[in-house]
A = this chain, B = another copy of it.
Amino acid sequence: MAAESAYKAPVEDYEFLFGEAFGLDLVARATDGEMTAGDGVDIVEAAGDFASSVLAPLQTIGDREGARLVDGSVRLPAGFAEAYQSFVESGWVTAEAPVSAGGDGLPGAIRAGLGEIWNGSNAAFALCWLLTAGQIHALDAVASDELRKVYLEKLVSGQWTGTMNLTEPDAGTDLGAIRTIATPREDGTWSLRGQKIFITWGDHDVAENIVHLVLARTPDAPAGAKGLSLFVVPKTLVNADGSLGERNGVTTVAVEHKLGIHGSPTCVLSYEDATGYLAGELHGGLAGMFVMMNSARAGMGFQATGISDSALQQASAYAAGRVQGGVIGRDSGAAIAEHPDVRRLLLSMSSKVFAMRALGVYAADLLDRAEDDESLAALAEFFVPILKGWTTEDALQVTSDAIQVHGGMGFIEETGVAQHYRDARIMPIYEGTTAIQSNDLVGRKVLRNGGATVEALLTDVEATIDALRGHGDPVAARTADRLERAVAATRRATTDLLGFANSPRDAYAVSVPYLMLLGTLAGGWMHALAVVAVLSHDEPKARGAERLTSADFYGAHHLPRVAALADTVAGGEIV
């Protein structure tokens, strides 16, 4: 049996999100009218075509062949290098990059769509793009003019790719334990020595050079994370004229054998007197790395949406095509998609995917707006850990459900659906585990301002509840009732959490449940906005009924979790 690779980008949803769901043309607002939602849809559609024809066919190949280390160099699966060249030539790397860095500066809402599509069609491939994009943002924020000229241009054009080097064998979540050392040389460059692990796309054969962004400690630096500096360390050194010179002192020691994303090379890199260039302030390395990480964390939300949607598409196609046995309340010959429980699984998946997708667009747009409007910064930053933490955790359930829809066939690797389940499992771990996201959320974004940002969110949600009440539709009424209960539970949980301000173990013992509570609530809010948008049309729109059913399902099956999680938060640490 051949694996199903018929990926199709969710263009209709983006059309709805760009132009309708939020009650205005998001793209027009973000670009001061230079572009419209329709332009955004065109771009998403073009990306979808590219993804379906070039990236999706490599999804299974990437999984089966995997990245291999051959004579010290990493070889990507067949077709990856050609796909990457085509990706670059089609301008997709440049499209993502900010104008200040020489890119097209597409608005966040559209980039959310692109991020989903690259990841949905081929998550292993998309990681190369995701990390390069993150590094572009970081260098754009902190690099000197010289570094910008030599490196940033090549990254933005897609000629070279970027990596982020944080983790070491004894320094994962705890960056302060980093031991890679950077020693100053007389010529102003630095000599780096140390070992970095879990370096995504740390070596490959799809582009001519790789730019490593490395967190390292300088001699006599303060202890802990405050003694870290950021260095640009190219795989191959660059001559004064911009041409490529000798290999730098970076070697690939190993490529990991992983549960999933086999097509993405996860490398152990050894730095031995490697030449590096300081990026940003000495001992201020975390600042630049946080820019990259923030970008990567939002990107994880798009990856979670993409992998989840890909699994959903495959499950939907299977369920629609397979006829077996009688179906309660349906004529004979009905497909298994009509079985009540298969239908439940598909609606559970699709209602989550829509919520993830909508929150991705909402948060990406908000991050854009916060760049010009300081008053939105707190809310925008608040959504980053929620988007990363909640979507990646829920993606595990969605990809698991996709297997369940397939029954026994789901467990057979040739079916292809198990790949999504394996690929997805890294998402709640890398770019900061869910616990790291939740600690960021609770510590910096809830406790620090006494829950003011949460309250701002709840006020927005209540405005949507009021809008729902303005419609006579029964789904609107049920959605309003359920959301109201969820808001009350969120207030209760937030009060309980604030009560733990002086007993941090209690706060951090329930920070993940609290993050999941907020993510689940935010998902319900996205559905509520969709209901309002659908009902605001006098004439029924395409997929309007489907959107109402999805919201109703989310409200009945997923939103009740908010109250359950609030009960959990109330308990603090159980000792």
Interface residues of A in 245-281 (CB under 8 A from B): 256-260
Question: In the complex, are the beta carbons of A411 and B435 less than 8 A apart?
Answer: no
Residue of B nearest to A172 (CB): B407
Question: In the complex, are the beta carbons of B567 and A549 less than 8 A apart?
Answer: no
Pick the residue among B173, B408, B426 that contacts A430 (CB under 8 A).
B408
Q: What is the CB-to-nearest-CB distance from A547 to chain B, in angstroms, rounded to a whole number? A: 13
By a CB distance below 8 angstroms, the chain B residues around A400 are 396, 425
Which of A44-52, A91-99, A507-515 interfaces with chain B? A507-515
Residue of B nearest to A327 (CB): B505
Given A177-B324, A259-B418, A325-B177: A574 in contact with B553 (beta carbons within 8 A): yes
By a CB distance below 8 angstroms, the chain B residues around A571 are 552, 556-557
Q: How far is the CA of A404 from the CA of B424 in the complex (A)?
A: 12
Question: In the complex, are the beta carbons of B325 and A174 less than 8 A apart?
Answer: yes
Question: In the complex, are the beta carbons of A167 and B256 less than 8 A apart?
Answer: no
Q: How far is the CA of A177 from the CA of B430 in the complex (A)?
A: 46
Which of A293-301, A305-313, A338-346 interfaces with chain B? A338-346
Question: In the complex, are the beta carbons of B421 and A340 less than 8 A apart?
Answer: no
Pick the residue among B347, B410, B428 that contacts A404 (CB under 8 A).
B428
A65 interfacial contact with B, CB 8 Å: no
Q: How far is the CA of A512 from the CA of B413 in the complex (A)?
A: 26
Q: How far is the CA of A426 from the CA of B413 in the complex (A)?
A: 12
Q: How far is the CA of A430 from the CA of B403 in the complex (A)?
A: 12
A198 interfacial contact with B, CB 8 Å: yes
Report A58-92 CB contacts with B as 1/0, cut-off 8 Å: 00000000000000000000000000000000000
A–B complex contacts, Cβ < 8 Å, 12 sampled: A174-B326, A177-B324, A177-B325, A256-B411, A340-B511, A341-B511, A343-B573, A344-B509, A344-B510, A344-B512, A410-B425, A560-B564
Interface centre among A167, A400, A413, A560, by most B CB within 10 Å? A560
Interface residues of A in 484-524 (CB under 8 A from B): 504-505, 508-513
Interface residues of A in 386-428 (CB under 8 A from B): 396, 400, 403-404, 407-408, 410-414, 418, 421-422, 425-426, 428
Question: In the complex, are the beta carbons of B421 and A259 less than 8 A apart?
Answer: yes
Residue of B nearest to A557 (CB): B568
Pick the residue among B411, B549, B573 that contacts A429 (CB under 8 A).
B411
A132 interfacial contact with B, CB 8 Å: no
Given A508-B341, A549-B575: A421 in contact with B425 (beta carbons within 8 A): yes
Question: In the complex, are the beta carbons of B556 and A568 less than 8 A apart?
Answer: yes
Residue of B nearest to A406 (CB): B429
By a CB distance below 8 angstroms, the chain B residues around A12 are none
Question: In the complex, are the beta carbons of B574 and A414 less than 8 A apart?
Answer: no
Interface centre among A439, A508, A552, by most B CB within 10 Å? A508
Question: In the complex, are the beta carbons of A329 and B404 less than 8 A apart?
Answer: no
Q: How far is the CA of A326 from the CA of B556 in the complex (A)?
A: 41
Interface centre among A174, A421, A439, A573, by most B CB within 10 Å? A573
Interface size class of A (residues with CB under 8 A): 35 or more
A240 interfacial contact with B, CB 8 Å: no
Residue of B nearest to A508 (CB): B340
A-B contacts besides A341-B435, A560-B565, 13 pairs, CB < 8 Å: A173-B407, A177-B324, A197-B408, A257-B413, A342-B435, A343-B573, A404-B429, A404-B434, A411-B426, A418-B425, A552-B574, A556-B570, A557-B574
Q: What is the CB-to-nearest-CB distance from A182 to chain B, in angstroms, rounded to a whole number? A: 22
Question: In the complex, are the beta carbons of B513 and A257 less than 8 A apart?
Answer: no
Q: How far is the CA of A124 from the CA of B325 in the complex (A)?
A: 31
A170 interfacial contact with B, CB 8 Å: yes
Question: In the complex, are the beta carbons of A410 and B396 less than 8 A apart?
Answer: no
A135 interfacial contact with B, CB 8 Å: no
Pick the residue among B341, B435, B510, B560 that contacts A512 (CB under 8 A).
B341
Q: How far is the CA of A342 from the CA of B429 in the complex (A)?
A: 13
Q: How far is the CA of A326 from the CA of B176 in the complex (A)?
A: 10
A36 interfacial contact with B, CB 8 Å: no
Report A541-558 CB contacts with B as 1/0, cut-off 8 Å: 000000001001100110
Q: How far is the CA of A571 from the CA of B565 in the complex (A)?
A: 20
Q: What is the CB-to-nearest-CB distance from A441 to chain B, in angstroms, rounded to a whole number? A: 12
A561 interfacial contact with B, CB 8 Å: yes
Q: What is the CB-to-nearest-CB distance from A150 to chain B, in angstroms, rounded to a whole number? A: 31
Q: How far is the CA of A426 from the CA of B411 in the complex (A)?
A: 6
By a CB distance below 8 angstroms, the chain B residues around A170 are 324
By a CB distance below 8 angstroms, the chain B residues around A564 are 560-561, 563-564
Q: How far is the CA of A483 from the CA of B412 in the complex (A)?
A: 40
Pick the residue among B172, B257, B429 that contacts A414 (CB under 8 A).
B257
Q: What is the CB-to-nearest-CB distance from A532 to chain B, in angstroms, rounded to a whole number? A: 19
A2 interfacial contact with B, CB 8 Å: no
Q: What is the CB-to-nearest-CB distance from A482 to chain B, in angstroms, rounded to a whole number? A: 8
